[in-house]
Amino acid sequence: MLEMAAASEPGLYRAGVAGDTFNTAVYLARAGLDVAYLTRLGDDSFSGDILRRMREEGIGTELVERCAGARPGLYLISNDARGERHFHYWRDAAPVRSLFDQPLPAPDAGLFYFSGITLAVTRSGRDNFLRLLGELRARGCRIAYDSNYRPQLWDSVAQAREYNRSVLPLCDIALPTLADDCLLWDISTVQACRALYADAGTGEIVVKAADLTAQAFAGPLHAQRRAAPVRALDTTGAGDAFNAGYLAARLNGASLDDALRAAQALAATVVQYHGAIIPREDATQDH
């Protein structure tokens, strides 16, 4: 999506390209992984800008479809005094909404990552998306998921729960934020969150909590870390960066504890900048 994020001067906004799964893709690519992005864009100049940005970040565009006469979605971020963000969306006609309306061939991948926002905005193609996940798993691809629940994207919490229940058994790695899942599932603790995913069959569960702690569970293994506090300028993309840091570390053979450390370090860097995507040189320092 196109992103309008607050600039350093009050009242001004900086145009960019971002979005939850895109942010994670960028940071995975910066970690040296081979990344491709699956989406649908228009044939306008803004869609061209998004494609150029993907290529600049080393993200493969071979899975991107172009839709004649369409334009990408846009969102604006405003921040309160604590750096907490508030989102304003214009994406009802974005071409990505019909991405799974027709069956798509399963890409050749070792890991497929998506979010609850993916589910919400493409839910007209639900059956095709579930079929795609099943085909990927049958090929040995691991499925990673962040519920990233946004109530305004769903007709009701019941609708969101029902779709999530159909997805969770297909997931190998879950990366929920506790606050999101408290809203979605009416739970209140890390253990309840873990149990929800474990009962659905998810093997690796990473729960991000509001007190800067994160816990990772994989079978009998468990790790917990509390991030050092930093002065947050803008929390946009913090969870997306965390997910990228964690997944990149695990894909490179890191332990749960080391993966949490890498995830928290990257997220801590990101929140000290405006916008979800920070300058490349700062994203790679000490991570």
Question: Where does the pLDDT of residue 284 fall: very low under 50, low under 70, confident under 90, or very high at 90 and above?
Answer: low
Contact of 38 with 112, CB cutoff 8 Å: no
Count of structural domains within the chain: 1
Amino acid 133: pLDDT:
98
Report the pLDDT averaged over residues 7-34: 92
Amino acid 231: pLDDT:
92
pLDDT per position as a tens digit, 181-190: 999 999 999 9
Catalytic residue list contains 155: no
pLDDT per position as a tens digit, 191-208: 999 999 999 999 999 999
In a 13 Å sphere around the CA of 275, the CA atoms on its Cβ side amount to 20
Among the listed residues 49, 234, 240, 257, the single catalytic one is 240
- With tokens 């928290």, the residue in question is 264
Amino acid 59: pLDDT:
99
pLDDT per position as a tens digit, 71-120: 999 988 887 777 677 888 898 889 999 999 999 999 999 999 999 999 99
Amino acid 23: pLDDT:
97
What does the block give as tokens for 232? 């947050």
For residue 147, what are the domain limits? Answer: 2-283
Contact of 77 with 51, CB cutoff 8 Å: no
By three-state DSSP, how is residue 137 classified?
helix
Please check the confidence at residue 32 and state whether its pLDDT lies above 60. yes
CATH number at residue 193: 3.40.1190.20
